[in-house]
A and B are shown apart, each in its own frame.
Chain A
Amino acid sequence: MGKVEKKKLEMQATRDAYGKTLVELGTENHNIVVMDADLSASTRTELFAKKFPERFFNMGIAEANMIGYAAGMALSGKIVFVSTFAIFATLRPFEQIRNAVAAQNLNVKIAATHAGISVGEDGLSHQAIEDVAILRSLPNMHIFIPADSVSAVKIVKEAARINGPVYIRMSRPKTPIIYDETYEFNAGQANILIDAPEARVAMLATGNMVYEAMVCGEKLRSEGIPVIVVDVSSIKPINKELIVSVAKRARLVVTLEEHTIVGGLGGAVCELLSEEYPTKVMRIGINDVFGESGTPSALFQHFGLTAEHIYRKLIKELR
């Protein structure tokens, strides 16, 4: 069993792409307003704040109130982007999101950064690993997770176009750029990155796990094991047709996410396939435990989320 090689790719954080794209959107559309909760440097909304101070509102450390104000702004015709760390953007004001935003189908775009364990050293209080699960339960909500900074740009633009609430899940570290400028995004999108007519395993990955899945997939392929790797960037709506068709061509379906295995991408795929095309699904993610402090790479090792760990797990499973 050889070592999993990683190609050197250019790196950029999805939140950097978000900050720049917000400025672009703000220039084109004067209806766009932005709110933050005392983390505008980290979320990169400060770029928008500098360019359009009259359309930026720092709401202080008061996230539940921020969601309410965003709902009021949206009821008054604005397109509102609200940003803070994912944990404070979703888990803390969840009921406000449900009753004020989702139930009224409002134009509030919750663009959160620092999702998942790649937050690193701040530890469990700051690591949202349940955000997708809870938001997925809300009618009207869209959930998009960019796999890199190039797709983040397109996703943020699509969020502005959509009429209704959107959750965009971004992360803290710089991550490899896997797409080029020809990438386009629409709600409900999933992209096949590695394909095979008949596969031993189909990996359905989202966010930062897409790159790990690609690296692992290349390795398996180079060893003669046919694989499919899919970037599921739209968790809600989810691409039913594509996922079912991939499941039909693979013996095992694996989901990969920087999120609890309960209720996120793994949950969504299991729900879908159990109704449409019952298939064995292996969920890889945070295994029903909380996160902890450590560097992002130490945590990815610890929770078994690196390409190397996934490779070993799959080899064992496929044997």
Chain B
Amino acid sequence: MDEQKRIEFEKELNSLRRDILLMLYEAKSGHPGGSLSAISVISYLFLNVMRFDPANPLWEERDRFILSKGHAAPALYAILARVGYFSPKLLKTLRKLGSPLQGHPDSRKLPGVESSTGSLGQGISIAGGIALAGKMEKKSYNVYTLLGDGEIQEGQVWEALMAASQFKLDNLCIFIDNNGLQIDGPVSMVMNVDPIADKLRSFNLATMEIDGHNPDEIENAFEFFKSNKGKGVPTGIVSHTIKGKCVSFMENKSEWHGVAPSKEEVEKALDELGCIESLEDWLTEGITWER
């Protein structure tokens, strides 16, 4: 990736991290750790890979993204607002009564949310179904989904993988956000899932491991997926990430799985991201800044 593209991407990524933190601060509950580990891949996907049209959210040929680890909803909402599905002002309503920004994504309430998720293990099956329908109708769209590494403890995930291979879903690209942590601690201590890549391979997926915060490697993953199209195999990407990425006191801490930052904490976090001034804007008028 050339230097200019990389700098621009990192800048976008930083403001999305900022939006996630502000949203969670405002909501006073939610999931920072897994939103921050996932936003790098999700933002690259929406900004550089997927074809979609926010003015026509149900455009039949659009590529689809299903956030199987639905608790990372703030990451999804941040990018959906960024690409124009709805006004960034709505980000202030996260988790409040009546908001389309539900605690977990709700497809009936918010354009751009392809399917409701939140119960772990189900999103990948739904993504598989969308990919299967695409194959059946000879559509050209691709389906992307992202799972947590704790999430893959659900047996349903392996049922979905089995089916993806059986039905030769080479239009399906599955990311595992391998941040090493779940709620009760390290995944390896709670219920080990390693070696993930070997497991995916043995389920007949074209499999690759990447550093999920390195833009070049993220780009390579999507190139890899493209190269598998027409081969009749689904793609699996094990994305090595850091839970709470870019906020020093949240990084690699399972304690930050499901609590929102306090005023002091959000100040500290925004300071680290180099955008402390945005808190004032947020508090006074919500997100109104031009991108």
Contacts and interface: CB of A to CB of B under 8 A. Distances in A.
Interface of A: 36, 38-42, 46, 58-62, 64-65, 87-88, 92, 120-126, 292-295, 298-299, 302
6 contacts: A121-B29, A122-B29, A123-B95, A293-B95, A293-B96, A298-B97
Contacts of B190: 38, 58, 60
Contact of B151 (A61, A64, A65, A125): A61
Across the A-B interface, the 3 shortest Cβ-Cβ residue pairs: A60-B191, A125-B118, A294-B97
A88 B27 contact: no
Interface of B: 27, 29-30, 70, 95-99, 102-104, 106, 116-121, 150-151, 153-155, 182-184, 190-191
Contacts of B184: 36, 38-41, 46, 58
Given A121-B95, A125-B70, A61 B182 contact: yes
Contact of A41 (B29, B30, B151, B183): B183
A58 B150 CA distance: 12
Contact of B96 (A58, A126, A294): A294
Given A38-B184, A60-B150, A123 B104 contact: yes
- Among B27, B102, B106, B182, the one with the most A-chain Cβ atoms within 10 Å of its Cβ is B102
Nearest to B117: A125
Given A122-B118, A125-B117, A62 B191 contact: yes
Given A38-B182, A125-B70, A299-B97, A61 B106 contact: no
Contact of A61 (B30, B99, B120): B120
Contacts of B119: 87-88, 92, 125
A251 B191 CA distance: 56
Contacts of B103: 121-123, 125-126, 293
Contact of A62 (B29, B70, B153): B153
Given A124-B106, A126-B118, A293 B97 contact: yes
A189 B104 CA distance: 37
Contacts of A59: 191
A309 to B, nearest CB: 15
Contacts of B191: 38, 58-62
A124 B102 CA distance: 9
A62 B153 CA distance: 6
Given A40-B184, A60-B190, A293-B97, A123 B102 contact: yes
Contacts of B120: 61
Nearest to B183: A38
Contacts of A122: 29, 103-104, 118
A121 B151 contact: no
Nearest to B189: A58
Nearest to B120: A61
Contact of B150 (A36, A38, A64, A299): A38
Given A58-B191, A121-B30, A293 B150 contact: no
Contacts of B30: 121
B155 A121 contact: no
B95 A60 contact: no
B126 to A, nearest CB: 13
B155 A64 contact: yes
Nearest to A299: B97
A120 B121 CA distance: 22
Contacts of B151: 61
Contact of A292 (B29, B70, B102, B154): B102
Given A36-B184, A41-B184, 6 more contacts: A40-B184, A58-B190, A59-B191, A62-B153, A62-B154, A294-B97
Given A60-B191, A62-B153, A293-B102, A123 B97 contact: no
A60 to B, nearest CB: 3
A81 B83 CA distance: 47
A180 to B, nearest CB: 33
A24 B29 CA distance: 32
